[in-house]
Structure 1
Amino acid sequence: MSINKTPTNRVYTYIAQRGVVSRADLMKEFDMSSSTMTRLLDDMIADKRLQESGRGSSTGGRRPILYETNPTYGYLFGLEISRIYSSMGLYDMHMNRLSAIRWKMDESMTPDVFMSKVQSAVRKFMKQHGLEQSNIVGMGVGAVGPLDRERGLILDPVYFPAQGWHNLPICERLEECLGFPVLLDNGANTALVGEHWALRSEHYQHMLYVHVGAGLRSAVMSNGQLVYGATDMEGAIGRMIIQAGNPANPGSSIDGALESFVSVHVIENEVREQNEPWSFELLVSALSAGDAVVQEKFKKAAAYLGIGLANLINVLHPEQVILGGALINAHESVFETAVEVARSHTYYYPQYKPLFSQGVLKEEAVAAGAAVMVLMQLA
């Protein structure tokens, strides 16, 4: 969906990002006359998009009126579609989460079943909070790629346990059953948007997000904006070559790609060679219980992840690096090992020291960021 933002949208977005602003702040940012700005603010107050938020400090004259967005002007849904778990949240315009739900993505979770669950949860949340369809601004979807964002399609995802997810017109299907606009982006991008929003008071401009689960996904922000390539391949980080091998044998550890060493499936397959098949949940339990074999497998994956992170950091030079996903969340040792290895291979360290974290939103990042995407584009 192509968005052509009006002056009202741009002013609203600016205020939403900063929380509370004065008219003088807006006049410095936007090229419009004083009378035009006054009229625009009056109109936004009248239609309840904005509300007054007290008075600012005086600089010699009358104390200025402060403005903020109205949290109940509308409501947003954020939906995560991932390979292991999917989730959905309902938010107000200040991104306060009102309700949330999570689903396990097993063999039964075909698109039809998933759509039914989403529709049921949307209706339940709206009833719980006394909302009408007219109150909903829209839904943002953060999904596994590859995607066609403009056409709203999930193209050819791998490792999905259920059938039917290929070439799926996800936006069209959701809009038909829900009755409000739906925007699509890959989940790594929406997670980074969500974390950037949560950290907006820190004014980070250059950020890297890496999600490690059934596959590897990444997103990059430069000068406060997401970086998009010619194709929407969020999983391209997994094809980073970290060990020279045989390019004639792609998809195995011999080809040296990062995804051959780091993912939930890699650990599952390595343990399966030595034991009975274990689910990832059982592996996480064994990791926490101190199983030496399992600990070694996770440590090895985390170390390789650290090498991949160092390669990205040495090229992109982010201020903040956020790690998420099932593998990172499995145990604190995974995050710690990956960060330790990444730092030890970061060029010009310690003079250049990017900050590492698991984010503010953590497992909610994809869904919350998808809702922020709607707020920024449709409000």
Structure 2
Amino acid sequence: MQVVSIQERIGSRKHKDIYERIRRQGTVSKIELLEQSEMTGSTLTRTLEELTAQGWLIEAGLGESTGGRRPILYQTNPDAGYVFGLEISRLSTKLILCDLHLNKLASQSWQMDSTMTPAKLLPVIADSAIAMLQSRNIEAGQVLGMGVGAVGPLDRFTGTILEPLYFPAAGWRNVHVSGFLEERLGIPVKLDNGANTALIGESWSDRNRDYRHLLYIHAGVGIRSAMMSNGKVVYGAVDMEGSIGQMIIQTDGPRLGDHGNYGSLETFASIHALEQQAQARLKQGRESSLRYKTTDPGEINFAHLMQALQESDPLTVEIFSQAATYFGIGLSNLLNILHPEKVILGGSLISTHPSFFQIATRVAIRNTYHYPNYQVVFSQGHLGEEALVAGAAIMIINQLTEL
């Protein structure tokens, strides 16, 4: 099946430029576009007419008069196309279908347990995507593509998940996600790491603010990060998603399992680290309400910890506070190196309790070298747990105006 390139759907540079300007501003008049662009009035008029005739733009009424005729307002047409966003994480996988204004038309989620191998999950995703389109009478040709935000490391050029850690099911090694889904669905499928797509989503949701340098950190089973500079995601020579988790913050520290650096940030501030800390302290005889949640201290998991934290169990509060402090130290190292204007923190550890965010950011500021001359904005984002999957869909829409 012939896959239509996303970049070719809107042909010329000037068409892409005008479409992107309108998309970012929501509703714009021709007068405003004339002031913003370098086009002549006749060229702009012709461009707007062509984009409208092609279905990419719609007229959205009339603006306020400034003395003459009321100007026509333009906005992008939400029904000019559709996009899928897909999140593949260690705990869950989620698929959404959206129009071009990111209005969610359908959604499906799957828990990632020990049975969710790639051989089982990918066909289910494809079948679900097909069913979503059929139930809304949407043809495959109307779909721009599917964006996938996944756990790394991965190769975004070949669309392959490489060797991720901590998946509950076997088989998640060298999985050609994009190729499989493209063949089944007949649409372009673009893979990137989940931290990057989450940052794309958060950046788009806050596009009216002029933040040029953004840092996103997701703290959960692992620690994942992404950086954006001048509106573009920063890519390294290899996929960098989990690299900050291996930042060494205690040279004689322990190691998490049988991989990674000794004394790394992930060893002190991740779901597995908290579970191990709780299990070890219970075995040492520490008193805690955790002791009554399971007969075997070795079976204590993150769900137990969240329950105990809500109960203000002293041991659990101590474990989370210590993890937040270490996370703040790692965060300060990043601030001292990268100097972002805004830092967005997401993931299960951040959202579990307000104290984690508060402690981590306070420690980070205290250890930031140029503070208070260097000011940084901390946020838990606008999209919450939807950031990754929404950003995956936005990643596809963004390609409409790429050259």
Q: Given the two structures, how large is their TM-score scaled by the length of structure 1?
A: 0.92
Structure-2 separation of matches of 1:119 and 1:139 = 11
Structure-2 separation of matches of 1:128 and 1:102 = 17
Contact 1:193–1:369 under 8 Å retained in 2? yes
Residue aligning to 1:306: 328
Structure-1 separation of matches of 2:254 and 2:317 = 30
Q: Mean alpha-carbon deviation: is it higher for 161-170 or for 251-260?
A: 251-260
Matched, 1:333 2:355: yes
Residue aligning to 1:349: 371
Residue aligning to 2:291: none
Distance change in 2, residues 1:159/1:22 (3 Å): same
1:51 to 58, 67, 89: 58
Q: The residue matched to 2:299 in structure 1 has which SS?
A: coil
Shift of 1:376: 0.7
Q: The residue matched to 1:86 in structure 2 has which SS?
A: strand
Structure-2 separation of matches of 1:254 and 1:293 = 27
Structure-2 separation of matches of 1:347 and 1:250 = 33
1:19 is aligned with what amino acid?
G
Residue aligning to 2:286: none
Q: Write the mapping of 1:74-85 to structure 2, written as runs, cut at 5 A.
A: 74-85=81-92
What CA deviation, in whole Å up to 9, does each residue of 1:334-378 have, x standing for no partner?
222212211222233334332212111010000000000001103
Shift of 1:61: 3.9
Structure-2 separation of matches of 1:220 and 1:6 = 30
Distance change in 2, residues 1:254/1:219 (3 Å): closer
Q: Write the mapping of 1:14-93 to structure 2, written as runs, cut at 5 A.
A: 14-93=21-100
Matched, 1:173 2:195: no
Contact 1:77–1:139 under 8 Å retained in 2? yes
Q: Mean alpha-carbon deviation: is it higher for 97-106 or for 70-79?
A: 97-106
1:54 is aligned with what amino acid?
G
Q: Mean alpha-carbon deviation: is it higher for 164-173 or for 362-371?
A: 164-173
Structure-2 separation of matches of 1:227 and 1:98 = 31
1:366 to 370, 388, 399: 388
Shift of 1:32: 4.4
Shift of 1:316: 1.9
Shift of 1:326: 1.5
Residue aligning to 1:278: 300
What CA deviation, in whole Å up to 9, does each residue of 1:192-249 have, x standing for no partner?
0000111112232221100011111101111122111121121111122222338999
Structure-2 separation of matches of 1:254 and 1:151 = 28
Which blocks of at least 5 consecutive residues in structure 2 are unaligned?
A: 283-296
Distance change in 2, residues 1:339/1:248 (3 Å): closer
Structure-2 separation of matches of 1:99 and 1:2 = 22
Structure-2 separation of matches of 1:100 and 1:218 = 26
Distance change in 2, residues 1:63/1:374 (3 Å): same
1:179 is aligned with what amino acid?
G
2:222 is aligned with what amino acid?
G
Matched, 1:182 2:189: yes
Contact 2:256–2:273 under 8 Å retained in 1? no
Q: Write the mapping of 1:150-299 to structure 2, written as runs, cut at 5 A.
A: 150-245=157-252, 255-273=262-280, 274=282, 275-299=297-321
Contact 1:75–1:90 under 8 Å retained in 2? yes
Structure-2 separation of matches of 1:151 and 1:112 = 18
Q: Write the mapping of 1:130-169 to structure 2, written as runs, cut at 5 A.
A: 130-169=137-176
Q: Mean alpha-carbon deviation: is it higher for 239-248 or for 345-354?
A: 239-248
Q: Mean alpha-carbon deviation: is it higher for 127-136 or for 142-151?
A: 127-136
2:370 is aligned with what amino acid?
Y
Q: Mean alpha-carbon deviation: is it higher for 130-139 or for 67-76?
A: 130-139
Structure-1 separation of matches of 2:332 and 2:370 = 11
Residue aligning to 1:125: 132
Structure-2 separation of matches of 1:56 and 1:2 = 32
Structure-2 separation of matches of 1:247 and 1:262 = 12
Q: Mean alpha-carbon deviation: is it higher for 32-41 or for 195-204?
A: 32-41
Shift of 1:59: 4.4
Q: The residue matched to 2:208 in structure 1 has which SS?
A: helix
The number of aligned residues is: 379
Q: The residue matched to 2:47 in structure 1 has which SS?
A: helix
Matched, 1:375 2:382: no
Contact 2:256–2:267 under 8 Å retained in 1? no
Distance change in 2, residues 1:53/1:130 (3 Å): same
Distance change in 2, residues 1:249/1:153 (3 Å): closer
Structure-1 separation of matches of 2:137 and 2:112 = 29
Contact 2:253–2:264 under 8 Å retained in 1? no
Contact 2:255–2:264 under 8 Å retained in 1? no
Q: The residue matched to 1:220 in structure 2 has which SS?
A: strand
Which blocks of at least 5 consecutive residues in structure 1 are unaligned?
A: none
Structure-1 separation of matches of 2:239 and 2:69 = 51
